[in-house]
């Protein structure tokens, strides 16, 4: 069993903690590049575990003010360095929603980091230290601000009602290698739900797309009752890109069914990576991962 040590900023400064990426220092930086934010700690740990399998070195940090768990891959005192790394990750297609978080937001920051392997029978040793008293909350940015921005953008969009119309469902985000929606996707799927409620005779086809056609790991909901927005109660499988795109489209359909939309009004089309918007090796390749809505029967 891995030993997890919870330490404050002060203790990390003493042990010389080093972050993954170009920048390293003897003490934690004021800025961290976040690649995943979760309200449930278990989901943050699962995401971090997936990143470690990809040879990355993620760290976890608790935002006590907003009760969120951030998974980050870089810490630095240099604001411009943090911004540059976030942009690089976005362009690389690895983490299109990477963002920079200022530790000034955290009143009681705690960092969890794996430091050594222990036999399975040995229990986890946990050490908790209080953060320095002088740390104050100075809001700079937060996941809540980002969600508010997404919500506002989704609310402004008017969906097409014309038969044959096809449009990308913006602000839909899935966990990596998963058919499970991330929490910030709820605004877009609820917008689609509202649209179908207001147009009770409209029928749609949900198109799922991936980046590339390589088969790989697929994380999916373990049952129809599993949470649409959580990695809790999920199972890991292996399958084709087409299968993953179908499962993702099915997730949108199942969410709508669970909220009262007749399943007869919806069909699913899985494309895998057959219809890319850009080359799969492009720095904008993440845009190939998408869900599109086609109106096949209009109410008007």
90 and 39 assigned to the same domain: yes
Map tokens 């740390």 to a residue.
135
131 and 180 assigned to the same domain: no
189 and 64 assigned to the same domain: no
Question: Taking a C-beta distance cutoff of 8 angstroms, is the pair 273, 212 a contact?
Answer: yes
Question: Taking a C-beta distance cutoff of 8 angstroms, is the pair 136, 94 a contact?
Answer: no
> Does 261 reside within a domain?
yes
Ramachandran angles phi, psi of 7, nearest 5°? -135, 155
166 and 290 assigned to the same domain: yes
- Rounded-to-integer distance, Cα 135 and Cα 104, Å: 8
> Does 149 reside within a domain?
no
- Rounded-to-integer distance, Cα 51 and Cα 36, Å: 11
> Which are the contacts of 227, defined by CB distance < 8 A and separation ≥ 6?
221, 233
205 and 103 assigned to the same domain: no
> Does 144 reside within a domain?
no
Domain count of the chain? 2
172 and 128 assigned to the same domain: no
At 262 the pLDDT is 97
CATH number at residue 267: 3.30.1330.60
pLDDT at 270 over 90: yes
pLDDT at 129 over 80: no
Map tokens 């690089």 to a residue.
88
- Rounded-to-integer distance, Cα 57 and Cα 273, Å: 29
Between residues 277 and 146, the one the model is more confident about: 277
Question: Taking a C-beta distance cutoff of 8 angstroms, is the pair 69, 63 a contact?
Answer: yes
> Does 246 reside within a domain?
yes
CB-neighbour burial class of residue 74 (10 A; exposed 0-12, middle 13-18, buried 19+): buried
Ramachandran angles phi, psi of 219, nearest 5°? -105, 125
DSSP count for the chain of H helices, then E strands: 6, 12
Query: End of a domain among 103, 135, 167?
Result: 135
**Number of other CB atoms surrounding residue 210 within 10 Å:** 27
Segment among 1-5, 155-159, 167-171, 197-201 with least mean pLDDT? 1-5
What average pLDDT does the segment 130-153 reach?
A: 65
The mean predicted confidence, pLDDT, of the chain is: 77
> Does 150 reside within a domain?
no
> Does 168 reside within a domain?
yes
CATH number at residue 82: 3.30.70.1070
170 and 111 assigned to the same domain: no
> Where does the pLDDT of residue 141 fall: very low under 50, low under 70, confident under 90, or very high at 90 and above?
low
254 and 184 assigned to the same domain: yes
287 and 169 assigned to the same domain: yes
Segment among 5-19, 42-56, 162-176, 273-287 with least mean pLDDT? 5-19
End-to-end CA distance of the chain: 60
At 210 the pLDDT is 94
In the chain, what percentage of residues exceed pLDDT 90?
A: 35
- List, for residues 57-112, the tens digit of each pLDDT value: 898 888 777 678 888 998 888 888 888 888 888 777 667 778 887 765 433 333 33
Domain that holds residue 163: 159-297
- List, for residues 189-235, the tens digit of each pLDDT value: 999 999 999 999 999 999 999 999 989 989 998 877 778 999 888 99
CA 91 to the chain's CA centroid: 16
């Amino acid at each position: 069993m891995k030993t997890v040590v919870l330490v404050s900023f002060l203790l990390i400064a003493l042990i010389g903690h080093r972050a993954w990426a170009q920048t390293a220092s003897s003490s934690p930086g004021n800025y961290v590049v976040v690649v995943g934010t979760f309200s449930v700690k278990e989901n943050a740990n699962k995401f971090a575990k997936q990143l470690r399998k990809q040879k990355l070195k993620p760290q976890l940090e608790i935002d006590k003010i907003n009760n969120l768990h951030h998974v980050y891959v870089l810490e630095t005192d240099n604001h411009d360095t943090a911004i540059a790394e976030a942009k690089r990750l976005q362009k690389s297609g690895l983490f299109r929603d990477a963002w920079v978080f200022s530790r000034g937001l955290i009143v009681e920051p705690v960092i969890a980091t794996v430091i050594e392997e222990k036999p399975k029978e040995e229990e986890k040793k946990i050490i908790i230290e209080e953060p320095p008293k002088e740390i104050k909350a100075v809001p700079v940015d937060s996941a809540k601000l980002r969600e508010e921005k997404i919500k506002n953008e989704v609310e402004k969009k008017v969906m097409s009602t014309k038969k044959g119309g096809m449009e990308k469902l913006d602000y839909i985000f899935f966990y990596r290698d998963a058919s499970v929606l991330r929490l910030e996707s709820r605004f877009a799927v609820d917008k689609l739900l509202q649209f179908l409620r207001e147009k009770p005779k409209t029928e749609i086809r949900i198109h799922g797309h991936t980046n590339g056609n390589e088969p790989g790991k697929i994380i999916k909901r373990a049952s129809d009752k599993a949470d649409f927005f959580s990695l809790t109660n999920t199972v890991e499988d292996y399958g084709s890109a087409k299968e993953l795109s179908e499962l993702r489209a099915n997730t949108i359909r199942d969410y709508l069914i669970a909220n009262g939309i007749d399943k007869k009004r919806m069909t699913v089309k899985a494309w895998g990576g057959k219809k890319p918007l850009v080359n799969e090796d492009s720095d904008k390749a993440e845009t190939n991962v998408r869900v599109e809505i086609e109106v096949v029967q209009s109410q008007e």
